[in-house]
Structure 1
Amino acid sequence: MPVVEASVVVPVPPALAFAVSQTTAPVRYRWDPFIREQHFADGATRPGKGVRTFTRSRHGIVMVSEYVSYNPPSNVGMKMVRGPWFFEVFAGGWRFGPAAEPGHATAVWRYSFRCRPAWLRPVAERIGVWLLGRDIRRRIQGYARGCADPVVLDAARETLGHD
């Protein structure tokens, strides 16, 4: 199964780095260039294991995903429940930990996927690695900008201690 990954060091501690990654609309739209619309599904109001989210990407692609893990401040994982026809499987995980420089965090984001139909998979997955690789790099760069944005940081700080 193909995997794309990106990492960045941000000038905030791991707990705050994690909190930034879990900000919701409208604050999320300040830093996340991938998302055009996102909200919790099924009446949920906060992230957590088993919670589903609806996401519309900047490409217009819609996906419903479910948190398979939610472990502040270290990691979060999701899997696609419903999505575009060309993904048979899509999953992602974001990890956060201390960086070498005190007060900084390292964020590592990873997506894995499998395309369909099977006969098209060899070509589709090469294209997917290129497209998703480009998107994950843009997204983590936006996240890094969010970790320096006072509005995003204030919103993220409000959520600390609520998990």
Structure 2
Amino acid sequence: MGSVHPPQHLIDADRPAKGVRTFTVQRFGLRMESEYVSYIPPSNVGMKMTRGSWFFERMGGGWRFTAVEGDASSTLAVWRYNFTCRPRWLAPVAERVGQFLLQRDIDRRIAGFARGCVDPLVLAEAERIRAA
């Protein structure tokens, strides 16, 4: 099946940070250049499209992670995207299709995130980094 998260390549940078641009190719072949508008691990990340495919007029997204009050073993993960499609005459249909596809992608990412949260190798590496 391949990766749920499309390959993302940093442009002129070695690591993600606010202002860093990225190049992403989505699994259907759509290409997008984006920029981090916020990068505050482990709590949140925000991005905006700076150059996209024919399909998106604009696109932005964000991911936020917060502790669940009263449950130290749980984290609330929220993924949000906003976009408009082009051409305008196709937008009403294209945006419904895009919403369906992005929601499916978000659901798959959250499931992958949840699997990572219980993976012994991921947890050991997170603990090693935290202790360093």
- TM exceeding 0.5: yes
Q: Residue 66 of structure 2 aligns to which amino acid in structure 1? A: G
Out of 116, 125, 134, the residue aligned to residue 86 of structure 2 is 116
1:148 aligns with 2:118: yes
Counterparts in 2 of 1:161 and 1:113: CA distance versus 1, 3 Å: farther
Out of 25, 28, 33, the residue aligned to residue 64 of structure 1 is 33
Q: Relative contact order: is structure 1 or structure 2 higher (C-alpha 8 Å, sep ≥ 6)?
A: 1
- The corresponding residue for 2:47 is 78
Separation (CA, whole Å) in 2 of partners of 1:161 and 1:77: 27
Name the Cα RMSD after superposition. Answer: 2.3
How far the C-alpha of 1:96 sits from its partner, in A, is 0.9
How far the C-alpha of 1:159 sits from its partner, in A, is 5.5
SS at match of 1:65: strand
Unaligned stretches of 5+ in structure 1? 1-29
**Between Structure 1 and Structure 2, which shows a larger proportion of strand residues?**
2
How far the C-alpha of 1:157 sits from its partner, in A, is 5.1
Unaligned stretches of 5+ in structure 2? none
Structure number with bigger Rg? 2
How far the C-alpha of 1:83 sits from its partner, in A, is 1.9
1:93 aligns with 2:66: no
TM-score w.r.t. the length of structure 2 is 0.85
TM-score w.r.t. the length of structure 1 is 0.70
Separation (CA, whole Å) in 1 of partners of 2:35 and 2:131: 22
1:52 aligns with 2:29: no
Counterparts in 2 of 1:103 and 1:132: CA distance versus 1, 3 Å: same
Aligned identity (percent) is: 59
Counterparts in 2 of 1:91 and 1:159: CA distance versus 1, 3 Å: farther
How far the C-alpha of 1:139 sits from its partner, in A, is 1.5
